[in-house]
Amino acid sequence: MNYENEDISLLMSKLTKYRETDSEEFVHTSYLKEAVMYGLMVEKSSRRRSVLATDPNSPWFPIVMGWANQLSIGTSGVARNISNDKTLTAKLLLDADLPVLKHVHVDKNAYASIVQFAKVEGWPLVIKPVDGMGGGGVVSNVNIDNLEGVLGRLDDNVNYIAQKQVFGPEYRVYATKKKVIAASCRVPGHVIGDREKTVEELIVAKNAQRKNHPHLKNRLIDLGSEDLAFALETQSKSLESVPQENEVVRLAFAGNISAGGHSVAVTEDLHKDIASLAVEVIRAMPDRPYAGIDMILGKGHECSLTDQDVTILEVNNPGRQQGHMFPSYGKPVNVVKEIILDAMSASCITPLNYMAYIDVIISLYGREESIKKAYSVLSKWGVDGSEVLIKGKKSETVLVSLKVISFERVIRELSLAGLSSIVISRRDALTEERYRFTRILGGLVRLPKGFLPKG
């Protein structure tokens, strides 16, 4: 949960085997897209906040999707409340004999009880909100000397807990009750000196790099944050300091992406013992079919549990998947796809991946150049424009015959043409289904029968 400067250098040296992720490898998708791609019915339930994907024959669904493509599937309100409460989560994991930290409740008047707790568990401590997320409000490196000052800065409207601070590499493991989907190492925010630039100049340069990354561009390092000031103060640094050549300067104590960190995808190298532990954690959580688990692995992801100390930090509800789909280093994993497939398997629904000998009527809506781009995509399957059924000022409808071709691939490639909207009617011996892709939703919506789309 915390790193010394030399620990960051050691961690980075261990992760050199993972190359920088190419932007073309990033997984651009949404639950809407993945649900439709595998044959689920999709309906829009409100204008902005959520989308509902349902299958009338399955008790597992509906699937409710909202902001940031977060998904609540097969999850009860009780499960969400437990995941949002670190104390309840810790109790469940302790009852299951899983390696989780003990804690004590904290408020501004809890000085004596915290000192007593630390005498048993040890210093330093970390103080965090019970229902916090993204590393917000977390204070690390709390000791007997700064405890009084830390307590004085706590928000009276927030419930806090204190835990012994654990040192070592931090990981996010995304798992279901059956398997691990993805794993990544979370490298804490830091800059490396060059004997010329100040810490502030190094941070500005780092932010410029993050702006070019789809997952990090909205998670820039805040030069005015209290957490940054505190991290620099503990190293006797300031924004005006000029670090030495190759000197590591921490910008945060934890590995949170929102605090300037980045992720390294390590799924393929995750030790089977750690994978088994992650599955046990999900099974210990009532009505929680999947989640992102934060843990400290003393010697890293390639070592067995018997060879290192392991500590479970928290179970996230449901846990952001973008770090696995848009890592800075390593191979991305389509977490969204795996969750949809896992849910379909649990509901005994057969995924629809490929269709043979199908006729598709596609209506393209957008600027003339976008329609031309769409035709360049369709030309891969022998469509030259002669199949136009309806031609409008800003729209064209074509009949496309596709043989043993991935319907998913057609949609994915057409969606990159910059069209404002695409309506697809799929007709074969068994079904007559119509979908609409819009850039606003970032996915496909199944259209009701008889619906006539407007350009």
Q: pLDDT digit string (tens) for 123-143? A: 999 998 887 665 567 888 899
pLDDT of residue 312: 95
pLDDT of residue 378: 73
Q: Which fold has domain 358-446?
A: Alpha-Beta Plaits (3.30.70)
Per-residue pLDDT of 352-408, as tens digits, reads: 653 444 566 677 777 777 777 777 777 766 665 556 666 777 776 766 665 434 555
- Do 102-164 and 358-446 agree at the fold level? no
Per-residue pLDDT of 9-38, as tens digits, reads: 778 788 889 999 999 899 988 776 676 666
Residue 71 binned pLDDT confidence (cut-offs 50, 70, 90): very low
pLDDT of residue 288: 80
pLDDT of residue 402: 53
- The C-alpha atoms of residue 249 and residue 292 are separated, in whole angstroms, by 28
Per-residue pLDDT of 183-221, as tens digits, reads: 999 998 999 999 999 999 999 999 999 999 988 999 999
Higher pLDDT: 298 or 343? It is 298
Indicate the domain borders of the chain.
102-164, 358-446
Q: Do the beta carbons of residue 25 and residue 308 sit within 8 Å?
A: no
Give me the mean pLDDT over the 156-168 stretch: 90
* pLDDT beyond 90 at 245: yes
* pLDDT beyond 70 at 272: yes
Q: Which two tokens stand for residue 181?
A: 């989907």
pLDDT of residue 168: 85
How is domain 102-164 classified at the architecture level of CATH? 2-Layer Sandwich (3.30)
Alpha carbon separation from 122 to 161, 263, 431 (Å, rounded): 15, 30, 64
Q: Do the beta carbons of residue 401 and residue 362 sit within 8 Å?
A: no
Per-residue pLDDT of 76-106, as tens digits, reads: 555 566 666 778 888 889 999 999 999 999 9
C-alpha closest to that of 312 among 290, 333, 297, 329:
297
Beta bridge partners of 181: none
pLDDT of residue 366: 75
Give me the mean pLDDT over the 316-338 stretch: 88
173 three-class SS: strand
For the chain, helix, strand, coil in percent to 5 are 30, 25, 45
Higher pLDDT: 42 or 212? It is 212
What number of residues does the chain have? 455
